[in-house]
Chain A
C-alpha cells in the first residue's frame, strides 16, 4: 500500500461524517464580547507575587531552562535546595497566566506553591530539548507526563516542581560533581526530556558518557519480565537489589548528514531496580551524533568498564534517592 492509497483511505474516512456546520456567528460573537479579568486570575497573579516576595520557600531543586534553537540558554529558573525566593531568577518577564482547574490537582499538592509562566515567543525555543517540569500528575500511575505540551503560545504551569524533586532529582552538589568530571560544561545541568512516545527520562552526563535514567511506575512490571531478559545478573545497590541486564540492542540513528544507519550494540548494559513506587533504569545514552565532543559509544560494543561505570552511577543515584526518601 503506497502513500496515495493511504491518502485515499484517509480522505474517505475524513469525509464521513460530513461536517457542514457554520459556527462563524457564535465565534464572532465571542470575539466581540470583551474579556474581563476574572477574580481567579487576579488572585493567581497576587499569589504568585506574594510567593516570590516571601522569605522562605520549600526546599526544591529544580533547574529549568529553555534553550534557543542555536543552543544558547535564554530563560532560566534555578531553584536550589537552600535558596530563598530571591534566588529564583526569571529571565523572561511573566506576561500571561494560564487558568487551571484546581479540581485537577491531587489533594496532597493543593497547598504547594505554584508558578505559572508564559514564554513570549515559544517558537524561538527548541522545546523538545528543554528542561522543564511537567504540569500534570497522574494520581493513579504517578508518572510525570511530558506529553502535556505547552500550547503554541508557551503557556505552561510549573506547579509540580516540588513533587518532581521529592521523587528523583539529585542535589545541586551531585550535579556539580557530575559536571566537574567532564571537561565540557555543555551539559552541566541535567535535562528532563522525553522521547517521541512521551516517556519521561533524564539524561545525565557522568564521567565521559551520557546516561539515560528512566523511571516508570511500579504498577507495570514489564521491566522485570523475565522472558524479555536475555541475560542478567543481580547486584546490590546498598540495600536494594538491582539487575544488570545485558541485551542486544538494535537501533536506528542518523548521522550528521541525515543518513540512516542501523547499528547493533553488543553488550548493551542496563541497570534496573525498584525503589519506592518507581522502577528505575539506567543505560548509556546512544544518541551521541549531535554531541561530537562526547566519546562515541554508539557504535559497536560497550566494553566492560562501561558496566562498572554504570554500576557506580546507579549507586550514586540510588544512594541519593535513599537519603531523600
Chain B
C-alpha cells in the first residue's frame, strides 16, 4: 500500500469505518518496532510503546493533513512518545537526556555486539534519530526540518557532525580496560 492509498483510507476511518485502521497498523507496525528499538537502544518496552503510538495516532488522526506524508507524521508521534517514555523511565535523573548513550570505557565492541551498534551507542537519541531520518529514510532536510521543528540551516551542520561522529566511532579501535 503506498502513501496515496493511505491518504484514501484515512477519510474512511474518520467517517466511522474504524476497522480500516488495521490496514495502517499492519503496514507500519514492524517499521515502528524497529524504529523504537533503534531510538531507545532497547531501553523501554518496545511493543507497549509502539501500541501506544498507534493509539495516539488514531486518536489524533483528524490532525493529519491529507497530502502530506503520513509516514513522517507517524514517525514524529513515535519519536515524541518514545522520548517521553524514556524520560519517565529514567525519572529525570540525568543531566542531559542524551546521557542515555553513555557507555563505560571498559565496554568493548564485542560486548556491544557489533561495530554499528557500538558507533550508535555513542550518539544521543536525537542524533540517532536524525541519522535515521536523513540516511536511512532518506528524507530531505526540508522534510526533517518540518518534522522535528529544527531550522534547516542548523540541521545541515548538525547532521554532518553526527555522521562524522558515527564514522569515527565505527572506525575506532576497541577500548580496553
Contact = CB atoms under 8 A, between A and B. Distances in A.
A149 B30 CA distance: 25
Contacts of A253: 153
Interface stretch (A24-32, A76-84, A309-317): A24-32
A1 B93 contact: no
A30 B51 CA distance: 10
A20 B30 contact: yes
A148 B87 contact: yes
Interface stretch (A41-49, A192-200, A232-240, A294-302): A192-200
B142 to A, nearest CB: 11
A147 B25 CA distance: 28
Given A31-B58, A152-B77, A26 B63 contact: no
Interface in A95-112: 101, 104
Nearest to A12: B116
A183 interface: no
Contacts of B135: 3, 6-7, 10
Contacts of A258: 152-153
Interface of B is mostly: helix
B51 A138 contact: no
A22 interface: yes
A13 B154 CA distance: 27
A3 B51 CA distance: 32
A224 interface: no
Nearest to B120: A13
Interface stretch (A120-128, A168-176, A277-285): A120-128
A141 interface: yes
Interface string B82-113: 01100110011111111000000000000000
A101 B89 CA distance: 12
Given A1-B170, A14-B38, A27-B25, A217 B95 contact: yes
B56, B87, B91, B149: most-surrounded residue (chain A CB, <10 A): B149
8 contacts: A7-B136, A148-B83, A148-B87, A149-B83, A151-B77, A151-B84, A152-B80, A153-B60
Interface of A: 1, 3, 6-7, 9-15, 17, 19-24, 26-28, 30-32, 101, 104, 121, 123, 126-128, 136-141, 143, 145, 147-153, 196-199, 217, 219-220, 252-254, 258, 260
